[in-house]
Structure 1
Amino acid sequence: MRSLNDEAGNGPAVASPSHDGRAPAHGGRARFDYLIVGAGFAGSVLAERLARGLDKRVLLIDRRPHIGGNAYDHLNDDGLLIHRYGPHIFHTNSQQVVDYLSRFTGWRPYEHRVLAQAAGQLVPIPINRTTVNRLYGLDLDEAGVATFLKSKAEPVAEVRTSEDVVVGAVGRELYETFFRGYTRKQWGLDPSELDRSVTARVPTRTNDDDRYFGDKFQMMPLHGYTRMFEAMLDHPNITLALGSDHRTVAREVRYDRLIFTGPVDEYFDFRFGRLPYRSLRFRHETVDREWFQPVGVVNYPAEEVAHTRITEYKHLTGQSHPRTALTYEYPSAEGDPYYPVPKPENAALYRQYQALADATPGVHFVGRLATYRYYNMDQVVGQALALYGRLAEAEAKGGTGGGTRAAAERIAAIGGRSATEPVAL
């Protein structure tokens, strides 16, 4: 892994880039087979695969000063490992993804558990038997909980919105307790205005299973995500340029193909307008006590509480330390893009950009921002591996590898849903 300065020598000549993904052929500039924009999961996996698998020279750039994208973690001033951009919990049902990432990291077993502050107490979320019994002072068995929830549920003729999903499953009282306020804070919209996918991915259980996820593989990188990315990118064919804007770099180097993992609307200069996103603000702090809360994440659904959740990282990392690190999350309308807003008009706007992307030769659009989907981490890895498979196959046949839409469809089985289905927390 090299820096762009190592490649550039006394400094590259500057020439205007073209939007077909190929820089003009002027001398004196470093040359690469691929320019990859974005050093998160999608970009880093493709950089590693192209460098190691196809012996390609890759320039990997990111506007941030670090690798790892939103999964970036680091030691804070007190020596505690924290996630800069909020908690990232690895879970998957894909053996392929686990096998691939295991080349670059060991694992720490970890099953994520979340509690919610409700009615003056902490109860498990997703809703399970313990949640119901604690909230209502009952002692129901599984069958009793199923009957209870059925009695609370309100029939919905046509399930279209997030409100419909929850009210139709557990009734309005539990909807108000756990979902309405949290969703309004998280999205800045009422659940009745949001696509059903927002809450459809949160299960309701009648047993005592208090795990947030039910995936076959649930674990955390043994030494953190950043160490995993460092191992992934440790290859002489990979050159890094951090803190770099892709348009500037594209003028300063020569490259044959472009892989873009940033916002697709930004790539096309917001031709049809901006795709809406929700952002987050984070307040990180260290507390002078060994533990702060009983689980890694506690949710705060009440609208009068400004933050949506508090994360305590030692639960996730297994780190032993006399102090503990916390992150408070505050949803925001401004800032870095995190969550695509799942509304029909936004999906229609994205389809306009998707048509442009599909018609742009020599450029592959991959990852959350480039495809306007809130993929889980394992799905992004799967999408990147699928695209690499297409590129490798095309290389063997002397072709170009085609577009990324078909590659996205090939990862549907990884997360158990269609690659075109909107996903959000």
Structure 2
Amino acid sequence: MKYDYLIVGAGPFGAVFAHEATKRNKKCLVIDKRDHVGGNIYTEQVEGINVHKYGAHIFHTNDKEVWEYVNRFATFNRYTNSPIANYKGEIYNLPFNMNTFYQLWGVTDPAEAAERIESQRLNCEEPKNLEEQALSLVGRDIYEKLIQGYTEKQWGRSCKELPAFIIKRLPVRFTWDNNYFNDQYQGIPVGGYTPIIEKLLEGSEVRLNIDYFEDKENFDHMATKTIYTGMLDEFYDFRFGALEYRTLQFDSEVLDKPNYQGNAVVNYTDQETPFTRIIEHKHFEFGTQPKTVVTREYSKEYEQGDEPYYPVNNQKNNTSYLSYKELADQETNVIFGGRLAEYKYYDMWQIVRNALDTARNELGEV
């Protein structure tokens, strides 16, 4: 049987494209090397709680069409992302807002908070590294307690060695607003993300535990075109060297108590705590289960066999990526999409938007 499209990767990009192609009566074969669909937004039930297996995923967007699109496949709740920072036992609200400034300095006047920040800011027109960039934006107190330790754990490097562009801006609000995102639409799908992907893939043939590269030539002959969402450097057999990533490790446990930390996300911003944050999954859906599931999240350097998460977009890697992209742009029967194929960290809404735009460009309007 000849398929119209071979889709490599059953994550959100591949699933949205498959759905759009199926609507247009195209035959799709979707393969994934994991034993489940959904990619990194996969959720599984543990003790009646939808656990975000690969880290917290909160859907947020200002794109009305994307929001309405995902709401066709699930009911989204009213979850608002309001993470907490724990610095050596001191608790601060995120993002930086009047609650944070009161916790830091005891100030309640927005003008006084602004003066505090201004008095600590580094006067630096062209910051040479992330530390200088952060100090020029928010000053020393916020940097030392809420940015430095977390960032160095996340990237495995000193802030003085990290490029300034990683934090081009930092949200600073002089209001008492703990909503992390400014987007108009925000929520978590009731029942988790996996059912959304399963609905998107209805009508496509799905094969799991399949490594595309173990039989690439055969798979390529099975379809007219390939939608590739995997690592771009791997597609070209690392011709220009391996692109670098940071990856995550997760340590999850079920606790025999209804509530562990009172919030879905608590960031640990000191350097001594080895993990970056603790996720308590039930709070994403306002759960009342008798037990709870918590996950400690550790950041580490990517090694072959790990799941790649965050591209290290420094000059060296970006130069290599452009060499790979030149090859990709010459392909006539392969379409590359998603964070790994484009070597770019995307929010979920951007993946949906890009997949919809790619489908329309390839297939036309319904």
Q: Same fold (TM over 0.5)?
A: yes
Is the CA contact (8 Å cut-off) linking 1:340 and 1:374 kept in structure 2? Answer: yes
**Amino acid in structure 2 at the alignment position of 1:38:** G
Shift of 1:158: 0.5
TM-score normalised to structure 2 length: 0.95
Corresponding position of 1:342: 313
For structure 2, the 5+ residue unaligned runs are none
Is the CA contact (8 Å cut-off) linking 2:258 and 2:289 kept in structure 1? Answer: yes
Question: How many angstroms apart in 2 are the aligned matches of 1:339 and 1:120?
Answer: 28
* 1:152 correspondence with 2:123: no
**Amino acid in structure 1 at the alignment position of 2:85:** A
Secondary structure in 2 matching 1:109: coil
* 1:245 correspondence with 2:215: no
Question: How many angstroms apart in 2 are the aligned matches of 1:129 and 1:216?
Answer: 21
Q: 1:108 to 1:356 in 2, by over 3 A?
A: same
User: What is the aligned residue count?
Assistant: 361
Shift of 1:121: 1.7
Residue identity over aligned pairs, in percent, reads 39
Question: How many angstroms apart in 1 are the aligned matches of 2:262 and 2:231?
Answer: 37
Corresponding position of 1:264: 232
Question: How many angstroms apart in 2 are the aligned matches of 1:169 and 1:310?
Answer: 27
* Superposition pairs of residues 203-352 of structure 1, within 5 angstroms: 203-235=171-203, 238-247=204-213, 248=215, 250-251=217-218, 254-333=222-301, 334=303, 335-352=306-323
* 1:95 correspondence with 2:64: yes
Corresponding position of 1:64: 34
Shift of 1:313: 0.9
* 1:363 correspondence with 2:329: no
* Partner of residue 80 from structure 1, selected from 49, 68, 72: 49
Shift of 1:389: 1.2
* 1:127 correspondence with 2:96: yes
Q: 1:119 to 1:246 in 2, by over 3 A?
A: closer
Q: 1:95 to 1:160 in 2, by over 3 A?
A: farther
Shift of 1:120: 2.8
Shift of 1:201: 5.2
Question: How many angstroms apart in 1 are the aligned matches of 2:226 and 2:128?
Answer: 38
Question: How many angstroms apart in 1 are the aligned matches of 2:169 and 2:297?
Answer: 21
**Amino acid in structure 2 at the alignment position of 1:320:** T
TM-score normalised to structure 1 length: 0.82
Shift of 1:119: 5.0
**Amino acid in structure 2 at the alignment position of 1:264:** L
* Partner of residue 347 from structure 2, selected from 370, 376, 394: 376
Q: 1:297 to 1:152 in 2, by over 3 A?
A: same
Shift of 1:198: 2.5
* 1:184 correspondence with 2:152: yes
Shift of 1:64: 0.4
Structure 1: 4+ residue segments shifted above 4 A:
none
Is the CA contact (8 Å cut-off) linking 1:194 and 1:342 kept in structure 2? Answer: no
Question: How many angstroms apart in 2 are the aligned matches of 1:329 and 1:313?
Answer: 13
**Amino acid in structure 1 at the alignment position of 2:72:** R
Q: Provide Cα deviations, 1:90-141, integer angstroms capped at 9, x if missing partner.
A: 10110011111111111111100111112532111222111122122x2331
**Amino acid in structure 2 at the alignment position of 1:225:** Y
Q: Provide Cα deviations, 1:251-310, integer angstroms capped at 9, x if missing partner.
A: 156110001000000000000110000001000111111111122101111111110000
* Superposition pairs of residues 103-114 of structure 1, within 5 angstroms: 103-114=72-83
Shift of 1:172: 2.4
Q: Please, which moves more after superposition, 201-210 or 106-115?
A: 201-210
Q: Provide Cα deviations, 1:31-68, integer angstroms capped at 9, x if missing partner.
A: 1000010111100000000011x210000111001111
Question: How many angstroms apart in 2 are the aligned matches of 1:273 and 1:170?
Answer: 37
**Amino acid in structure 1 at the alignment position of 2:48:** G
Secondary structure in 1 matching 2:341: helix
For structure 1, the 5+ residue unaligned runs are 1-29, 397-425
Is the CA contact (8 Å cut-off) linking 2:137 and 2:170 kept in structure 1? Answer: no
Is the CA contact (8 Å cut-off) linking 2:107 and 2:113 kept in structure 1? Answer: no
Question: How many angstroms apart in 1 are the aligned matches of 2:340 and 2:53?
Answer: 19
Q: Provide Cα deviations, 1:398-423, integer angstroms capped at 9, x if missing partner.
A: xxxxxxxxxxxxxxxxxxxxxxxxxx
Shift of 1:249: 6.0
Instruction: Give the aligned CA root-mean-square deviation in angstroms.
Output: 1.6
Shift of 1:160: 4.9
Question: How many angstroms apart in 1 are the aligned matches of 2:216 and 2:273?
Answer: 43
Question: How many angstroms apart in 2 are the aligned matches of 1:219 and 1:91?
Answer: 7
Secondary structure in 2 matching 1:353: helix
Shift of 1:373: 0.4
Question: How many angstroms apart in 2 are the aligned matches of 1:345 and 1:244?
Answer: 32
**Amino acid in structure 2 at the alignment position of 1:134:** Q
